[in-house]
Amino acid sequence: AQSVSQHNHHVILSEAASLELGCNYSYGGTVNLFWYVQYPGQHLQLLLKYFSGDPLVKGIKGFEAEFIKSKFSFNLRKPSVQWSDTAEYFCAVNTDSSYKLIFGSGTRLLVRP
Amino acid sequence: SQTIHQWPATLVQPVGSPLSLECTVEGTSNPNLYWYRQAAGRGLQLLFYSVGIGQISSEVPQNLSASRPQDRQFILSSKKLLLSDSGFYLCAWSLTSGLGVEQFFGPGTRLTVL
């Protein structure tokens, strides 16, 4: 069965530090990849998505992610985090004409001012 | 623009009581609708999805059921709640099924079963 792994459950950074959150999926076919973010007290919202083409995807608020097919990975990055990036981040995959989004367990990011 | 509403925002219910959570979408027609449960440290688990009125598919066996009485209304129900039904329930919609289609999430309902 398809699955998504986010290995970092809790990450604590200081402002201006660089961020990389890992996401790996298990599926051999065509995938589309998503990062969602849930800020405290807010809806889950889309940060960025990959469908096809350039494997380096840029999203909102300075985030980017790189799809590396050979590694089954879609890591999220930001060169310099801000306190306002404190949130929970979810990686998700959908596969081969499926309606389903398969989510990872999430990573809680705390950015200290 | 499209909006998605869920209510109630929080709910505390005793074991064995019934449940009804409602989700409505505005600003779009014939959306696909989804119910997820979010448990701490476990991501989001898809419970039900619907591609049209009266069409419900269940993803996992459980104590819950779903109904779609109108195009933009999705209801999550239970006849008798269990302790294990506690969690954060999210409703979502998308325009069509298939690859690359973004899902939009509601604000969620925090359910505590005592």
Q: What is the mean pLDDT of residues B39-61?
A: 87
Q: CA-CA distance, B96 to A107, in Å (whole number)?
A: 28
Neighbours of A26 (CB within 10 A): 12
Q: Where are the domains of chain A?
A: 3-112
Q: CA-CA distance, B24 to B85, in Å (whole number)?
A: 22
Q: What is the pLDDT of residue A97?
A: 65
Q: What is the pLDDT of residue B66?
A: 97
User: In Å, how far is A96's CA from the nearest CA of chain B?
Assistant: 6
Domains of chain B (ranges plus CATH)? 3-113 (2.60.40.10)
Determine whether A2 is exposed, middle or buried from the number of CB atoms within 10 Å of its CB (0-12, 13-18, 19+): middle
Contacting residues of A for B44, CB less than 8 Å apart:
44, 90, 92, 101, 103
Q: What is the pLDDT of residue B100?
A: 58
Give the domain A3-112 fold: Immunoglobulin-like (2.60.40)
pLDDT digits (tens, 9 = 90+) for A50-80: 988 999 999 999 999 999 999 999 999 999 9
Q: What is the pLDDT of residue B99?
A: 57
Nearest CA in chain A to B3: A43
pLDDT digits (tens, 9 = 90+) for B23-32: 999 999 889 9
CB B33 within 8 A of CB B4: no
* Interfacial A residues in 32-91 facing B (CB < 8 Å): 32, 34, 36, 42-46, 49, 51, 90
Chain A interface includes B49 (CB < 8 A): yes
